[in-house]
Every structure is written in C-alpha cells, then in structure tokens.
Copies of this chain bind each other. A is one copy, B any other.
C-alpha cells in the first residue's frame, strides 16, 4: 500500500510524521509544491489547478493508492476537484480535523486556529456547522514565521501564543461559546503544541490535525496495510518530491518530519 501525501510546502511533513508512526507498514510518496506556494492568497480556480496537477502526479506517476491532502488551503478550496481528478480515495485535513472535533467536544463549541487564508475560507466553520457544532476561527499569522525561524521553544513564541489564545478566548466569550476543544488547523502548529496547551484553559482539549489525520487514515486502511503497529518506523519506503529548491526542502523539512530527509527529487508540474 502506497500513500500519497500532498502539501503546498513543508508543513504537511508533520502529517507524514504522524502517518509513519501510526501506519509504519505502508510506503509513502510526499509532494511539496514549493515552487507555487503559498496557496493561501490565490484564487479557488488557481488552487484547484495546482492541487489537481499535484494529486495526479502522486497517483499517476508515483502509483499512490490513497491520497492525503495535508494542505489546509487545498483541502478547503479544492477537495472536490481533486476527488474528480484521481481514481483513489482522498482524505483532507479539514474534514479529519472536524471529525476529531466532533468526537472530542461535549459542548459542541469548538475553537479553531489557522492561517489567515484558511480562516477567510471559513472551511472549518462550515465543516463544524455540518456536524451540528459552532466554531470560532482565529487567524494567527505570526505562528508560521516563528516556526520557520526555528523559534519553537522561545519566550517570544510563548508570548505571541499567549496573546493570540487570549484574544481567541475573548472572542469566544463575546459570542457566548463554551468551547472545550481547540483544533490546530495548520500543519505548522503541531510544532507548537506544548506551548499552545500551556496557554489554553484547562478544560480545552487541543486537537493536533496531523495526529488525527493519521488516525483516520489508519482506520480507513486497516486491513490493507499489513503489519501496521508491528513494523518499526524506518522500515517504510518514503520518497520526497518538491517543485522548487530540493536543498531548502531538505533543510527546512527535517524540522517538520523530526528526522533527516535523505533525498528529494525535483519535479516540474508546469505553471
């Protein structure tokens, strides 16, 4: 079983990391569309065009039998287009995050932190509403740059998280929400999970969308993957593809994957 993992950049490597831990028996092909990032500021039509060409590469060239869309923007704007473009099952991080919130929340009130683009799409609010839940979404635009600067354990990051979470809780209070669940709806945020957990009130459970995506992929694949849970991490065959500088991918990516990235192949998907 080969699982394709797609993101516009490096962030999706946190999802791959969780997949390797939970489904070590599978093989993986990871594509970061780094030449065309960031997707966040682009139109729905452009994101759909980029995402479907990336999905097709993983399925048609690399023979992925299952596709994980680890990119929030692509999941929010292009999931239907991707499902139409490829003949394998596709799971996106927005729906897995909303599923996990549904399983976690007793109050049916959910908090979501994400990039500005994801918040502006209101994809999580819509997915929560479809599950009978209310959601408050907050953009935290400094968190991605802080993670990319490597300041994951840094007093400045601690302070920025404290400010953002404070504003989020204020928003929730003003809207009379009694939230018991916070979804980390950006693939960079799992690197800040402990800091975020320290900043939220005790009754709020933090949901790492990378982790819950891996769990839901595992549940969907169960029988198909032999030895899952028995094989050790490192046995899986993992290939990495990027559409821009492979050196930068390797350097930055290692931090997200939590282990060294051996080789990255450059792919040209056109404009």
**A146 — nearest CB in chain B belongs to which residue?**
B142
Q: How far is the CA of A141 from the CA of B252 in the complex (A)?
A: 14
Contact present for A149 and B142 (CB under 8 Å): yes
- The answer, among B41, B141, B156, B163, for a CB contact under 8 Å with A160, is B156
Residues facing B in A193-216 (CB within 8 A) are none
Q: How far is the CA of A155 from the CA of B160 in the complex (A)?
A: 10
- A25 → chain B closest CB, angstroms: 36
A262 proximity list for chain B (CB < 8 A) = none
Q: How far is the CA of A151 from the CA of B145 in the complex (A)?
A: 14
Q: How far is the CA of A34 from the CA of B146 in the complex (A)?
A: 23
Residues facing B in A128-165 (CB within 8 A) are 141-142, 145-146, 148-149, 151, 155-156, 159-160, 163
A159 proximity list for chain B (CB < 8 A) = 155-156, 159
A244 close to chain B: CB less than 8 A = yes
- The answer, among B41, B145, B155, for a CB contact under 8 Å with A142, is B145
**A159 — nearest CB in chain B belongs to which residue?**
B156
What is the total number of residues of chain A having a CB less than 8 Å from a CB of chain B?
15
A141 proximity list for chain B (CB < 8 A) = 145, 148-149
- A245 → chain B closest CB, angstroms: 8
**A155 — nearest CB in chain B belongs to which residue?**
B159
Q: How far is the CA of A183 from the CA of B244 in the complex (A)?
A: 30
A156 proximity list for chain B (CB < 8 A) = 156, 159-160, 163
- A10 → chain B closest CB, angstroms: 13
A223 close to chain B: CB less than 8 A = no
- A60 → chain B closest CB, angstroms: 24
Q: How far is the CA of A142 from the CA of B147 in the complex (A)?
A: 10
Residues facing B in A75-100 (CB within 8 A) are none
A271 proximity list for chain B (CB < 8 A) = 271
Q: How far is the CA of A163 from the CA of B156 in the complex (A)?
A: 10
Residues facing B in A7-29 (CB within 8 A) are none
15 other contacts beyond A142-B149, A159-B159, with CB at 8 A cut-off? Answer: A41-B244, A141-B145, A141-B148, A141-B149, A142-B142, A142-B145, A142-B146, A142-B151, A145-B145, A155-B159, A156-B156, A156-B159, A156-B160, A156-B163, A271-B271
A to B CB contacts below 8 Å, 17 in the list: A41-B244, A141-B145, A141-B148, A141-B149, A142-B142, A142-B145, A142-B146, A142-B149, A142-B151, A145-B145, A155-B159, A156-B156, A156-B159, A156-B160, A156-B163, A159-B159, A271-B271
Chain A contacts to B: CB under 8 angstroms = 41, 141-142, 145-146, 148-149, 151, 155-156, 159-160, 163, 244, 271
